[in-house]
Amino acid sequence: MRPKTILVCLTTPEHAETLLKVAVPLARKHGAHLIGLHTVEALLVYPGIAMHIPEPAFAAFNESQKEESEAIKAIFTRLTENEDFVSEFRLVRAEAQSAVERMIESARAADLVIMAHEDKNSDRFDQRHAQTRVIRESGRPVIIVPLNCDGPELGQNIVLGWSDTREAARAAHDLIALADPGAELTVLRVAAGVKDALKDTDALDMTEMFARHGLKPTLEHRDPAGDSIADVLSTVAFEKGADLVVTGAFGHSKAYDFVIGATTYALLKDQKTPVLFSK
């Protein structure tokens, strides 16, 4: 099923145009309803802290929020007003909830969510780690776009990071909705001691499934040879000229991820190609 509702989380003016250069072509291609979401930060006063906030401080805070919202809306309007698909700019106040919780709420009714890489230089405090939480908690596939991304339209050349997990299977089926007819697709298994591809039955089954959908899949095995799985995915994406990397997300517990590290965190930290995460 092609995406018919696409949510793009527009956190800052600095990255709004980059995100919309990815989101607008997807909405155009699939005739989707494109929602640009911006959350307005709440000025929280915590119980037990005795302090007086002067009225001018409130006014200055509200004015800065208004200016940022208007700047983001202007970018959204400029890049969507001449399109045939339906576009909608939503301004949502965080109020008692965090900005991330508002994103998660809105994401659950979307077929696809698009977000920017985390940027500590421009993201508000209440937007930090939003990508991780939306991927974990929304139940929706999320594309994370590198900062200043200026690549081709998504869906023509895809690399799928494959493993025998529920998350990878979810990602594999989610990518079908985004792949162009006849798209090139590399089903990539990264593992030490590369096995015979002809004996890799579950990966072969997945490759044949993609072929039945009209894609052009190839199965490839890579030994990491000391590199991380994220590094191998990045290398193969570069070699293939991929416009999108697809992978299952957070297949381990939070404790495991925190202590040992995980491919998902590595890809969220540093990636040159947009990545679709499915949980």
For the ranges 58-62, 92-96, 228-232, 246-250, the lowest mean pLDDT is seen at 58-62
For the ranges 55-69, 128-142, 173-187, 252-266, the lowest mean pLDDT is seen at 252-266
C-alpha count within 13 angstroms, C-beta hemisphere, residue 193 = 0
Residue predicted with more confidence, 127 or 234: 234
Q: Which residues of 69-92 are buried (b: 16+ CB within 10 A; e: fewer)?
A: bebbbebbeebbeeeebebebebe
Sorted by where each begins, the domain ranges of the chain are 5-145, 157-278
Whether 227 has a pLDDT exceeding 90, the answer reads: no
pLDDT at 116: 94
Whether 31 has a pLDDT exceeding 60, the answer reads: yes
The percentage of residues in the chain with a pLDDT greater than 70, rounded to a whole number, is: 84
Residue 191 buriedness (CB in 10 A; 0-12 / 13-18 / 19+)? middle
With respect to CATH, is domain 5-145 assigned 3.40.50.620? Answer: yes
pLDDT at 56: 64
Q: What are the pLDDT digits (tens) for 140-183?
A: 999 999 988 888 899 999 999 998 889 999 999 999 999 999 99
- Among 55-64, 70-79, 116-125, which range has the highest average pLDDT? 70-79
Coil, strand or helix at 106? helix
- What the block records as the tokens of 151 is 């690549």
pLDDT at 197: 60
Matching fold, domains 5-145 and 157-278? yes
Q: What is the pTM of this model?
A: 0.88
Q: Which CATH superfamily is domain 157-278 in?
A: HUPs (3.40.50.620)
- Among 19-28, 32-41, 162-171, 266-275, which range has the highest average pLDDT? 19-28
As a whole number of angstroms, the distance between CA 117 and CA 26 comes to 19
Q: Residue 46 — pLDDT band, cuts 50, 70, 90?
A: very low
